Amino acid sequence: MILNKPKYWDKKIGIISILLFPITIIVLITNFLKKKLTIAKKFNIPIICIGNIYVGGTGKTPTSIFLGNELKKLGRNPAILRKFYDAHADEYNLIKKYFNNLILNKSRLEGIKSEMHNFDSIILDDGFQDYTIKKNLNIICFNQNQMIGNGMVLPSGPLRESIYSLKRANIILINGERNIKFEDKIFKINKNLEFFYSTYKPINLGEFKNKKLLAIAGIGNPENFFNLIENKIDITALILIGPSLDKGLSINLLGKITSKPYIEMSIAWLQRIGVNATFINNRIEIKAIKNKKTCIYNVESDWSSLSYFFSIVALSKKSNLEIGTYFSDSIQGDKKLIEIYNKLGVKTFFKNNIINLKKDKDLDKKDWGKNIFLDFQKIGEVLLLRARVGLLIACASIERAFELS
């Protein structure tokens, strides 16, 4: 029998979730009673739990392997402990391939008791919902493609526990890009959490170059695996060689596109040099260039790196910088720097693809708070710059350490 993950888990709460909610209430009550009636055993060695609240496919096992190897580099002697299930042999083999010390036991508690004298720390690969063990550190994994789904507990949704169980967590590890909205939501539950982000990088894709393959996945969320493979195909490189192909190039992109801005920038670049290229409804069309000719074209620089120069000018009393190559009609999201730093007295001008950052007068100290207020709801594309802007605000609140004239 094949069991597929219900599609309604990752959609807005609908009729199916509502109809199943009486069963969900039973699950919630059961979880509550387990926590209240179970006495957790404390051990004299560190117990680190790599867990989740979303059912499967969040990256617990790779994270456990990575952490185990990092602890070894620090001179520790850790072991990874897995609860034994007959059907999980593939995951056990994966751990053994990349990490030597693996403990398997039908009871995590008994596994620790029987093997703790051989190791100085234990990593639980899963076990956040095991209340029999006192953990020193709880690291909870999420995947950016699913996060918490519809937010409901089984069977109405994909969660093993309510998101309020994150009160017991210490670290949130998200595989994917930063999600400020999710961070803010979880911070309301646990203000002491620390957030970290990770990405998977295939190490041997080169072995399969120019080969037709059948990709098979046997993980909790197989779409994550397929998205990983598809996203590692360099779409930008394909776009750039499109005009040189005899019949041009047509690409149909399936599923969620995570690199849309880069595709749009690549298409815009081709259009600038006269190539007939379009990107509409997930379909890329690039016409071949029949009459090729040599031309000189300036490639635009990265706007995110420009933030440091904006900061230098903003922290100066008077400054005048010219930097290339930047386009006034750039579609890079980080162009929002102009809007942000204008609040700090930095004026931006363009001439012949050269950007001029200018500050004629210093901000009055009484106006600092008023001018530095930033509405990130309106400029969501530049949220990744929040750390840099935060540093700038901190610097602006004290006497300057340097000046640039």
The DSSP result for 265-328, as a single string, is HHHHHHHHTT--EEEETTEEEEPPPSS------PPPPPTGGGHHHHHHHHHSSSEEEEEE---T
Q: Decide if 405 is inside a domain.
A: no
Q: Decide if 404 is inside a domain.
A: no
pLDDT in tens, 79-113: 999 999 887 788 888 899 999 999 999 999 999 99
Residue 216, C-beta contacts closer than 8 angstroms, at least 6 positions apart: none
| SS3 call for 390 | helix
| Residue 243 vs residue 227, higher pLDDT | 243
Q: Tell me the average pLDDT across 26-50.
A: 95
Task: Answer with the one of 154, 170, 198 that is the final residue of a domain.
Answer: 198
- Local confidence band at 334 (pLDDT 50, 70, 90 cut-offs): confident
Q: Tell me the average pLDDT across 36-55.
A: 95
Which pLDDT value is given to residue 149? 93
189 and 238 belong to one structural domain: no
Which pLDDT value is given to residue 227? 67
15 and 163 belong to one structural domain: yes
162 and 224 belong to one structural domain: no
Select, from the ranges 30-39, 205-214, 388-397, the one with the highest average predicted confidence (pLDDT).
30-39
Closest CA to 307 of 372, 394, 392: 392
- The alpha carbon of residue 278 and the mean position of all alpha carbons in its chain are separated, in whole angstroms, by 29
**Relative orientation angle of helices 386-396 and 307-315, to the nearest 10 degrees:** 10
Q: Decide if 392 is inside a domain.
A: yes
31 and 100 belong to one structural domain: yes
- How many residues does this entry show for the chain? 405
Q: Decide if 291 is inside a domain.
A: no
Buried b (16+ CB within 10 A) or exposed e, 287-318: bebeeeeeeeeeebbebeebbebbbbbbbbee
Report which DSSP code applies to 212. -
On the 0-12 / 13-18 / 19+ scale of CB atoms within 10 A, 332 is: buried
Return d(Cα 223, Cα 370) in angstroms, integer: 46
278 and 136 belong to one structural domain: no
Q: Are 143 and 54 in contact (CB under 8 A)?
A: yes
| Residue 44 vs residue 360, higher pLDDT | 44
Residue 84, C-beta contacts closer than 8 angstroms, at least 6 positions apart: 104, 105, 106
Residue 388 has pLDDT above 50, yes or no: no
333 and 369 belong to one structural domain: yes
H or E segment to which residue 183 belongs: helix 180-187
Q: Decide if 295 is inside a domain.
A: no
Q: How many CB atoms lie within 10 A of CB 206?
A: 7
The amino acid that residue 290 corresponds to is: K
Return d(Cα 76, Cα 70) in angstroms, integer: 9
**Mode of pairing for the β-strands spanning 319-324 and 354-359:** antiparallel
314 and 381 belong to one structural domain: yes
Residue 260 has pLDDT above 50, yes or no: yes
Task: Answer with the one of 178, 198, 218 that is the final residue of a domain.
Answer: 198
234 and 338 belong to one structural domain: no
Number of domains in the chain: 3
Which pLDDT value is given to residue 113? 96
The amino acid that residue 91 corresponds to is: E
82 and 185 belong to one structural domain: yes
Cis peptide before 155 (omega within 30 of 0): yes
Sheet arrangement for strand 78-83: 102-105, 78-83, 121-125, 47-51, 137-143, 171-175, 194-198
177 and 33 belong to one structural domain: yes
Residue 262, C-beta contacts closer than 8 angstroms, at least 6 positions apart: 235, 236
Residue 67 has pLDDT above 70, yes or no: yes
- Local confidence band at 132 (pLDDT 50, 70, 90 cut-offs): very high
98 and 164 belong to one structural domain: yes
Q: Tell me the average pLDDT across 148-158.
A: 95
Sheet arrangement for strand 277-280: 249-252, 283-286, 277-280
Q: Are 95 and 80 in contact (CB under 8 A)?
A: yes
Q: Decide if 296 is inside a domain.
A: no
Q: What share of the chain is helix, strand, coil (3-state, %, to 5)?
A: 40, 20, 40
Q: Decide if 299 is inside a domain.
A: no
Task: Specify the CATH number for the domain of residue 342.
Answer: 3.65.10.10
Q: Decide if 292 is inside a domain.
A: no
Task: Specify the CATH number for the domain of residue 14.
Answer: 3.40.50.300
Which pLDDT value is given to residue 233? 60
| SS3 call for 340 | helix
Q: What is the mean pLDDT of the chain?
A: 83
135 and 160 belong to one structural domain: yes
Task: Answer with the one of 165, 181, 198 that is the final residue of a domain.
Answer: 198
* Token representation of residue 395: 């610097």
Range of the domain at 216: 205-286
| SS3 call for 329 | coil
